[in-house]
Amino acid sequence: MSVIWHDIECGAYGADIALWRALAREHPGPLLDVGAGTGRITLDLAREGRRVVALDRDADLLAELSARGAGLEVETVVADAREFSLAERFALIIVPMQTIQLLGGAGGRRMFLGRARAHLTETGVLAIRDQRTPRAV
């Protein structure tokens, strides 16, 4: 049921896709999609030839993403964005949609920012979607 609801709520939204594609072109290397859900952005970028790690705390959503992304260079990680720990570092970490608003207030956002910083390459970029306009801040 969570897959259907997620796709209804988020699946058809596309105003920000050009932004994520442009950022991915500007920052070559592996990228991390935080709050990846069923893969709206992950799959688009993987089809563009990018290696994407999709992080979400909902295993059902990531299972669907994996099925949809069969044959693409996509890895899924079930984890909370405030507490994840991966061996890999990323040239780009993206946070689409309202994910940043779902982290439990300022304390949760602070925890996430610490984890994100620890997972960026030296020149890596963190791009967080501002819900008011299709741009990263």
Residue 35 has pLDDT above 70, yes or no: yes
Burial classification of residue 58, based on how many CB atoms lie within 10 Å of its CB (0-12 exposed, 13-18 middle, 19 or more buried): middle
Percent of the chain with pLDDT over 90: 60
Is 135 a domain residue? no
The runs of H, that is alpha helices, within 37-76 are 40-47, 59-68
78: region left, alpha or beta (phi > 0 left; psi from -120 to 50 alpha): beta
Q: Is residue 133 part of a domain?
A: no
User: Is 54 a domain residue?
Assistant: yes
| Per-residue model confidence as pLDDT tens digits over 46-92 | 999 999 999 999 999 999 999 999 999 999 999 998 999 999 999 99
> 9 with 35: CB under 8 angstroms?
no
Nearest to 39 by CA among 25, 24, 26, 53: 53
- State the pLDDT confidence band at 106, using cuts at 50, 70 and 90: confident
**Residue 23: CATH number of its domain:** 3.40.50.150
CB atoms within 10 A of CB 134: 16
Q: How many domains does the chain have?
A: 1
Q: Is residue 67 part of a domain?
A: yes
CA atoms of 92 and 45, how far apart (whole Å): 12
